[in-house]
């Protein structure tokens, strides 16, 4: 794996070129504003008079309907939600110039063949490893969120140079730009979300909470122990890995970690993780999610409603009201 920094950026790449940002959500806003502040000619492609249109105009950015925004653009970034990108691509493709670069922040649609790019286009990936708000804040502070970079199609032989120039424009080269592939980024990103960061972590928290409450302990105490204090551990891991976590927790906590942790997340858990990964790799998850979306997300909404009505959420709302400082970093 190669890691690129600011010194590797070719200054002529994308110089004077127009960049169209399709979508103005978390990532779209951060990318557009960072690129503008880096001196690029940016236009935002969104639906007329919608919230995104109004927000982009309020931020001082030129706006146009997506099909108009891509006209004359040398690079078009698809930053709308995953399951809207196929339709957006179909809407704008006839107005994209020959030899232009199309860019994604997640490889889902290209990797799973929902979008089949025109052969004359460069197709690249720049995926910041952090939410849009952080991408913007880090840039404003003179720092940058690391990015993954991949080239799927290199029609003009300038795909990498343009991708790296874009990454530099949003601040990514300050944190380092790591090379990957569309397949690797997509599959590892989905796995991380499902097995560890979102699905795995939240289920571990909820099951721990349930275990304590069912054993007769106060829900409020269970909330503090299984959810609230998780941030302390995550921050330590984020800052210095396992070594820093062990440095700052008690000897009792370390012993419990080393002897009981493997009993909770064990060989059976890893076998299930491998099944989850296989379903991502063979496209089963993608097919299920696309089909669920086409059916109106009925099961998705039921599962979400069940999640948000769990007792841990009711207890959490009450306790978080007593900690208003938590909202200061939102």
189 assigned binding-site residue: yes
52 assigned binding-site residue: yes
Active site residue 228: no
- Name the catalytic one among 106, 111, 238, 310: 106
CA atoms within 13 A on the CB side of 258: 11
Structure-block tokens of residue 69: 């925004």
120 assigned binding-site residue: no
193 assigned binding-site residue: yes
Q: Are 244 and 237 in contact (CB under 8 A)?
A: yes
DSSP string, 228-271: ITHHHHHHHHHHHHHHHHHHHS-HHHHHHHHHHHHHHS-HHHHH
Partners of 78 in the β-ladder: 22, 104
47 assigned binding-site residue: yes
Closest CA to 126 of 77, 93, 184: 77
- Which H or E run includes 4? strand 3-4
Three-class SS state of 54: helix
Q: Are 185 and 150 in contact (CB under 8 A)?
A: yes
132 assigned binding-site residue: yes
CA atoms within 13 A on the CB side of 2: 9
Three-class SS state of 81: coil
Closest CA to 254 of 239, 243, 241, 267: 243
143 assigned binding-site residue: no
24 assigned binding-site residue: yes
Give whole-number Cα distances, 326 to 202, 232, 307, 320, 321, in Å: 19, 13, 21, 7, 9
Residue 94 CB partners (closer than 8 Å, separation 6+):
none
Phi, psi of 150 (to 5 degrees): -145, 150
5 assigned binding-site residue: no
Conformational region of residue 265, where left means phi above 0, alpha means psi within -120 to 50, and beta covers everything else: beta
Q: Which residues are annotated as a binding site for NADP(+)?
A: 24-27, 47, 52, 132
Active-site residue set: 106
Q: Which residues are annotated as a binding site?
A: 24-27, 47, 52, 132, 189, 193, 225, 229, 250
């Amino acid at each position: 794996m190669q890691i690129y920094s600011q010194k590797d950026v070719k200054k002529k790449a994308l110089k004077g070129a127009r960049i169209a940002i399709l979508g103005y959500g978390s990532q779209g806003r951060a990318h557009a504003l960072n690129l503008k502040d880096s001196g690029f000619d940016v236009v935002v492609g969104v639906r007329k008079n919608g919230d995104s249109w109004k927000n982009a105009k309020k931020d001082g950015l030129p706006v146009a309907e997506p099909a108009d925004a891509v006209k004359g653009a040398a690079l078009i970034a698809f930053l709308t939600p995953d399951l809207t990108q196929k339709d957006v691509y179909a809407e704008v493709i006839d107005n994209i110039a020959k030899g232009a670069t199309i860019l994604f922040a997640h490889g889902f649609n290209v990797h799973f063949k929902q979008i089949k790019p025109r052969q004359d286009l460069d197709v690249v990936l720049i995926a910041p490893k952090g939410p849009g708000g952080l991408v913007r804040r880090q840039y404003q502070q003179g720092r940058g969120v690391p990015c993954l970079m991949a080239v799927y199609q290199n029609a003009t032989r300038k795909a990498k140079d343009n991708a790296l120039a874009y990454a530099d424009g949003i601040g990514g080269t300050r944190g380092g730009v790591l090379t990957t592939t569309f397949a690797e980024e997509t599959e590892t990103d989905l796995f991380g979300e499902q097995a560890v960061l979102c699905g795995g972590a939240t289920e571990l928290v909820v099951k721990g909470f349930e275990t304590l409450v069912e054993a007769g302990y106060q829900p409020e105490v269970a909330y503090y122990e299984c959810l609230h204090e998780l941030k302390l551990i995550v921050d330590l891991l984020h800052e210095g890995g396992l070594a820093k976590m062990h440095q700052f927790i008690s000897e009792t906590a370390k012993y419990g970690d080393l002897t009981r942790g493997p009993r909770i997340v064990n060989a059976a858990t890893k076998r299930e993780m491998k099944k989850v990964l296989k379903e991502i790799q063979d496209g089963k998850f993608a097919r299920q999610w696309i089909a669920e979306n086409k059916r109106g997300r009925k099961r998705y909404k039921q599962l979400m409603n069940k999640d948000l009505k769990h007792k841990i959420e009711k207890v959490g709302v009450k306790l978080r009201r007593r900690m208003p400082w938590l909202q200061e970093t939102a």
